[in-house]
Structure 1
Amino acid sequence: MIKPSALILAIMMLASCQNAEELKSEQYFVEGYQLYTTHCANCHQPDGKGMSNLYPPLAGSPALTNKALISCVIKNGMRDTIQVNGKVFSRPMPANPKLTEIEIAEIVSFVSMKWGKDSTYTKIETVQAALQGCKTY
């Protein structure tokens, strides 16, 4: 039987093998997941596949490569008709004005790492710059 102190020591040793960027990526992913679950999953679904013809999927969406766009849409919402994976969606997305810049960075990190091809977190500076230049969508 493994002693609890030995298990804690082993976990600490494994965690110390990661560099600061890897740890931050994991932190943003986990916190982004929690925020996504609270603020986004109701429409975009836990699996990111959206809701039939009502809400677009995030999984496989080419928009995931545009972190500025995602940041602006999360903060300010969207009223445009869009096409995702060959399907047209016209339901408006509500704004999330109460989300902080760090929370938006965490959500963008989660969705771009989970369903995009990104492997690192989205820096808060990226979100700050995006939010200063947001267009109305």
Structure 2
Amino acid sequence: MTAVIVGVRGHCAHCDITFELKPWQLNAIAINEPFDCQYCHKVLQLCCPKQLKQFKSLDNLALLRPSMIVLTCAALLVALVAEWIGLISVIGQLNVSLVAVLIYFLTLRYARHRQHMTLTLQAINPVRDLPVEQLTPVARARLGQG
């Protein structure tokens, strides 16, 4: 995930607290890695496939702002050249420019609206996958052989 994502909140289903997710927590959700709740210290993970799909779709919005800037600048330049050549009047050029800027701001407002979401995080029982080298001393200690 990129640093432009703001407004993504997490709701712990165990302690019923909603909090702003930090960038490392967003990264953990993106790679489907559980993390601890900062309030109740339970291990949380995003389990809802619908919310996970909505969260992953935020990647598509990362390049929206730069591409809209290029598109708006191109529309303004085309309108200026068309008015300079005489294809449209000054009023027509002004109208095209205003519509381009309006579309720019409406698109960015929609993108910001899509970025604000609250993800319901479920408490899970963590199953830590340890390598065999680390499991052997644990097993020996539990069996009284160490």
Q: Aligning the two structures, in what range does the TM-score lie when normalised by the shorter sequence?
A: under 0.3
Structure whose residues are more often strand by fraction? 2
Normalised to the residue count of structure 1, the TM-score between the two structures is 0.26
Structure with max Cα Rg: 2
Between the two structures, name the one with larger relative contact order (CA 8 Å, sep ≥ 6). Answer: 2
